[in-house]
Chains A and B, each alone.
Chain A
């Protein structure tokens, strides 16, 4: 597409399509006529009928559309960025976080902190992990940078609490072990792309 049409800045000469809106009444008499015409056309009742129909559907046919928040909640987009979740490995139930510290590093509001240590199994253990939700701006970088898809944004968008610390420890965010079967893979920031398999180059293996 050329840019010619954008370079023509003489308003009115461009290729506009004009709407036929009729004459705008100017005199008092014309205005009065318009009001009377509109009043006695049954347009108003068409509108009222829609309301009435929905009322009947809701009250008598059980087709109520009101979401009774907070008892009912609407599903939200997988790309919505609310309070973080910490996911577990489905096979072993062990938490996915390896303590690499990338989320801590990338966090632009410096609200993630973790303690790590060398554990008995010669692995890096995350002994404590916290997000300061008073500072978190829910930008999603932590989920995007996480190499293990361990930290993700969950659907918990109600961030009002008596204490800011209420959500912020590792255990609070971690999938409860008894609800592991309910754990969903995250589709938002940082998730693998649908064509990820095609982009992988295979490494020769000797076994």
Chain B
């Protein structure tokens, strides 16, 4: 990216072109005060503190872009006067309850009040009674403390996509007009707006209808928005921050676990909350509220350990899931190499197969884009991912592209969703039939591929879907009309020709795209919309999700994805199905089926190792162990232990069985280099962000390239289309695994999620007959779902939902009311 040279307070900086002044300054450690601006979101201009002088003109640093040779002065006497007045206004009627406020000194209002030297107050207005409200099961809003900076509404709209909160009328008294003349201009304008507004749920009710991610509580500069569970339980300064990585989904977001002793009686450390670097990463509800899944044990259970060693000695297979660190995966792989056990992990296995088919076809060992790169594109597509449920960060990227890059999006998924269309005006949603994922990819090929690069048979096959039909349309035509006019003065008659618009019916031939029709949309309506969507678009990305890995034709789909990348400018990012599926897929040689005596690691088995506390030998949970994870951004990232663990860990068993190093993290340097890992010691891995937003966490996996021949893809297999009652294996939002389920602030239950209409038809409880097996579950209505397909959660390993679905994500079933 090209850079421009600017001067801030006389110092020269080379900054990114097209960057806002504020971001450029922050990236270079220059301080410009600002409350309302969020990096990665649109400027709101609510606080007006970031006023600076650029080339002699006052501008707002958050929405003015840098120009070559720009000279910026951060403080001028006039600006300082404005800023001080703004802070004085913010302090008007702000309750003096700093002593009990949950911000406990981490308050931006407090900081800027001191920074700008506000030591007296010159403004006043009668206060308005503002009630505190509980917006949802996790959100608490104290309107009295709110300074209406709109960071919460901005992040909810621009990043999260729920747009669940908005500014509402406060009903406060009007400002005294006298202030207009006596106080600085910007301060008056800001006060005028502040006095009128307050934050409220955007659906007009008392409660937010959102995914309960809690990002609004993270960005709140004051103590107005806090988590209900955390409120008044601890001061920020008492909490010890442990930088870690969220272990719920494959996004692997950077988080801080904040711990202190549980109470006066119980001096064991407890996690009080999870915080994040909200300028650079946004968490979901599971990451923020699903933190207390630790496995507390009293000490080393030697008997159970001896039994575990025996069990490992006679084990034929090990069944595990992907909530596991790279080091543990490497231990299991070492065990396989030394002792010949089978390694079974259904989610990683499917992903592994898909990934290897993709690499064979494309010649790239990994997919091209990470999700940060997706976020920088202006046209994003998603195939085979339930975007709202599978991976929150993929959804945030999809939404952010619409909001920030004036982007467009295509969303292909069989399960109807009414949230995705609200992300932007240029989002087209295809609710296609189950089994038509190939058609979706062919459509993308048709829309984006350079026809010159396509193999002849593919070109021909795509052309076979095109047909020409005639259509009558009404068109405006300018018609010449001649009129005779008499000139009043001379009495002469004159002929004047005029153009008059007229609607004419006209028959035109239009190209009908059979692929669009096959996917359930009107061809010409879509093609018209698509033409608009493509305006001024430069970069394209495709998100590929779990449905495709578990598809019957997964291999062909992987090739199609590779073909899309080869023949077009579209770049692909994949969502690994579970937390560390990518790491497991790269590290372990997985087997399809377990056989004989099976050890289950957080899964069912003859001998159970469990970090959930329900097994034969206890294991540390992810918040109690250190290690690395491989996330969907193709990064190997470290996580640290927030809580103490007194029992045995997997490495202890390894030390008995095979030649293992002393600590689990001693394995980090031996992760397979040929798969893209680096031989780096755990302790040298960083875990943070730099001021300019650079992700300084762990290291990026190396992608190796190899030469490959032509990609040979097969046609759409329409025999795979499912009809009838279909169940989809999909978790509710905020639920990913047994660990998120264990957390006390995650309330989403295990069950069958259905659109409200479908849920009503199904009743309270149903028995789902999968043929060989069946399951009885509660039916839960999900307002965001549409259509007839229902979603069965898979986060409880005890229910063995993977086995019910038998290597697929969709099943035709029969359902009976119970």
**A residues engaging B (CB < 8 A)?**
98-102, 104-105, 113-118, 122-125, 128, 130, 147-148, 201, 203-207
Contacts and interface: CB of A to CB of B under 8 A. Distances in A.
Interface in B208-265: 228, 231-235, 237-238, 261, 263-264
Contact of A113 (B127, B233, B264): B264
A113 B104 CA distance: 16
Given A100-B100, A101-B238, A118-B232, A204 B124 contact: yes
B273 to A, nearest CB: 14
A179 to B, nearest CB: 26
B484 interface: no
A28 B122 CA distance: 89
A206 B132 contact: no
Nearest to A122: B132
Given A98-B99, A117-B233, A205 B124 contact: yes
Nearest to B126: A206
B526 interface: no
By secondary structure, the B interface counts as: loop
Contacts of B122: 204
Interface in B99-127: 99-100, 104, 119-127
A148 B263 CA distance: 24
Contacts of B231: 118
A105 B121 contact: no
B125 A98 contact: no
B133 to A, nearest CB: 11
10 contacts: A98-B99, A101-B104, A101-B238, A105-B238, A113-B264, A116-B234, A117-B232, A206-B124, A206-B127, A207-B126
B233 A147 contact: no
A147 B97 CA distance: 11
Contacts of A117: 232-233
B238 A116 contact: no
A205 B127 CA distance: 10
Contacts of A123: 100
B99 A100 contact: yes
A98 B237 contact: no
B233 A204 contact: no
Contact of A130 (B120, B234, B264): B264
B235 to A, nearest CB: 4
A104 B122 CA distance: 35
Given A204-B122, A205-B124, A206-B124, A124 B100 contact: yes
Contacts of B104: 101
Contact of A116 (B123, B125, B232): B232
B785 to A, nearest CB: 34
B263 A115 contact: yes
A147 to B, nearest CB: 6
Interface in B125-157: 125-127, 132
Interface in B71-121: 99-100, 104, 119-121
A192 B425 CA distance: 62
Nearest to A207: B126
B121 A203 contact: yes
A128 to B, nearest CB: 5
Contact of B237 (A105, A115, A203, A206): A105
Nearest to B261: A113
B264 A99 contact: no
Nearest to B99: A100
B121 A98 contact: no
A147 B100 CA distance: 11
Contacts of A114: 264
B237 A99 contact: no
Contacts of B119: 201
Given A105-B238, A201-B119, A203-B124, 17 more contacts: A101-B104, A101-B235, A101-B237, A102-B99, A105-B235, A113-B261, A113-B264, A116-B234, A118-B232, A123-B100, A125-B232, A148-B99, A203-B120, A204-B122, A206-B127, A207-B126, A207-B127
B339 to A, nearest CB: 50
Contact of B233 (A98, A116, A206): A116
A98 B124 contact: no
B125 A206 contact: yes
A106 to B, nearest CB: 11
A204 B123 contact: yes
Contacts of B121: 203-204
B120 A124 contact: no
A183 B264 CA distance: 28
B238 A104 contact: yes
B471 to A, nearest CB: 64
A117 B230 CA distance: 9
Nearest to B263: A115
A122 B140 CA distance: 11
A93 B393 CA distance: 52
